Amino acid sequence: MAGHSGKKAIVAALLANAGIAVAKFVAFLVTGASSMLAESIHSVADSSNQGLLLLGQNRARRGPSAEHPFGYARERYFWAFVVAIVLFTLGGAFSMFEGYEKLRHPEELGSIWWAVGVLVVAIGLESFSLRTAVRESAAAKGSQSWWSFVRTAKTPELPVVLLEDVGALFGLIFALAGVALSEITGNSRFDALGSIVIGILLAAIGILLAVEMKGLLIGESASTPDMDAIRETLATSPHVRRILDLKSQHLGPEELLVAAKVELDAELSFRDVARAIDDAEQRIRERMPSAVHLYVEPDVPADAGAGESGATGPSTTEPASGPSSSSSSSPSPSA
C-alpha cells in the first residue's frame, strides 16, 4: 500500500510553474505569439492545480465527524479530479481556441528571441520539476511500468504531477517549434498551429486524469497483492475454516475499508467466536496497517447442507455471486 503523498514533487512543480508563467506572459506581451499566451495560461493552470493538490492533502487530514464517520481522506481524490477539469478547460480548451483565432486572423510576431529565450529556460525548469516527480514516484511505482503506475496508483498527486510535467515539457517543445517555424518561414500560422497542438495535448491529459480520478472517487478495491495478503492472513487465522466473501475499498490513499464473511469452527462458543474474530482482525492490521476500517463477520455458508462445512483446514473459496446471506436455519437433512 503506497503511502507517498508526493508533497515534494507538488511544491517543486508549483515553484517552477509560477516562475515560468510570469516569464511566458512577459514574452507574450513582447512577441504577441499565441503559443506563448497558450503556454502562459498552461503554466497558470498548472500552478493553480498544484495549489489545489496541496489543499486536498490538507483537508484530507481532518478526523472523522458525525456526518463523515470514515473521515475526509477522499478529499484528495476530489481535488485531483478538479485539477483534471481545470487542465482540460483552462489549459486545453483555451489553447485550442487561441490557436484557432490566430489561424483565422494571423498576426506578425515581434522580438522572437524573447520567446525563444523564455522557452529554453522554461524547458530547463520543467525538466527539473519532472525529475523531482520521477524520483518521488519511483518508490511507489516499484517494478510497474510508468503507464501501469499512472493507471493503478491510489495516491492521486503523483500521477497528476507526472502527467502535468510531461505535458508541460512537450508543450514547451511544441511552442518552441511553432515560434521557430514562424520566424524561419515568415508565416505566423505555424505559431497558431503550435498553440492548437498544445491544447490537444492538455485536453488529452485532462481526460485521462479525469477518468482515473473518477474511478478513485467512486471507490476502487485494494490492489491484487494487498488483497492476496489480506486473504492469506485471514484464511490462516485460528478457527477460520473458509472465507465466504471478502471486499475492500479505498477511502483514501492510505485508508482501506475491509469487510469479510468467514466460516468458523462449528464447536466454538459465542465468546470463542468473538475472540477468533478479534484475533483475525488484529492479524490483518499488523500485516496491513492501511486497513483502518475492518469488519469481519461470522456466517454459515450457503452450501453447508452439501457437506462443504465438514471440510477441514482453511479455505479461501469466495462465491462469485457475492456475499452469502446470514442464515440461522438448521442444516438440510442431508447434512
The residue ranges of every structural domain in the chain are: 7-218, 224-310
What single-letter amino acid sits at 324?
Answer: S
Predicted local distance difference test score (pLDDT) of residue 91? 77
Please state, in angstroms and rounded to a whole number, the distance separating the CA atoms of residues 87 and 76: 17
Rounded to 5 degrees, what angle do the CA atoms 137, 139, 140 make? 65
Under 8 Å between Cβ of 52 and 14? no
Predicted local distance difference test score (pLDDT) of residue 200? 92
The answer for residues whose C-beta is within 8 angstroms of residue 234's C-beta and 6 or more apart is 240, 243, 246, 260, 262, 280, 283, 284, 296
- Which helix (DSSP H) or strand (DSSP E) does residue 329 occupy? none
Predicted local distance difference test score (pLDDT) of residue 322? 39
Closest CA to 26 of 15, 16, 40, 14: 40
Instruction: Give whole-number Cα distances, 77 to 48, 122, 238, 241, 291, in Å.
Output: 16, 29, 37, 37, 18
Predicted local distance difference test score (pLDDT) of residue 238? 92
Q: Output the nine-digit C-alpha cell for 291.
A: 486497513
Please state, in angstroms and rounded to a whole number, the distance separating the CA atoms of residues 219 and 255: 12
Please state, in angstroms and rounded to a whole number, the distance separating the CA atoms of residues 33 and 191: 7
Predicted local distance difference test score (pLDDT) of residue 144? 86
Length of the chain: 335
pLDDT in tens, 207-240: 999 999 999 999 899 989 999 999 999 999 999 9
Predicted local distance difference test score (pLDDT) of residue 249? 94
* Fold topology of 7-218: Alpha-lytic protease prodomain-like (1.20.1510)
- Which CATH number is associated with domain 224-310? 3.30.70.1350
Composition of the chain by helix, strand, coil, percent to 5:
65, 10, 25
pLDDT beneath 50, residues of the chain: 1-3, 306-316, 319-335
What single-letter amino acid sits at 47?
Answer: S
Under 8 Å between Cβ of 173 and 181? no
Under 8 Å between Cβ of 109 and 191? yes
Predicted local distance difference test score (pLDDT) of residue 77? 93
Please state, in angstroms and rounded to a whole number, the distance separating the CA atoms of residues 165 and 20: 12
CB 127: neighbour CB atoms within 10 A? 15
Please state, in angstroms and rounded to a whole number, the distance separating the CA atoms of residues 247 and 29: 56
Phi, psi values for residue 128, rounded to 5°? -65, -45
Predicted local distance difference test score (pLDDT) of residue 93? 85
pLDDT in tens, 25-74: 887 887 777 767 777 877 887 788 889 999 998 998 888 888 888 889 99
Tell me the chain's radius of gyration from C-alpha atoms: 27
Under 8 Å between Cβ of 74 and 185? no
Q: What is the DSSP string of 67-87?
A: S-TT-STTHHHHHHHHHHHHI
Handedness of CA 216, 46, 56, 93 (dihedral sign): negative
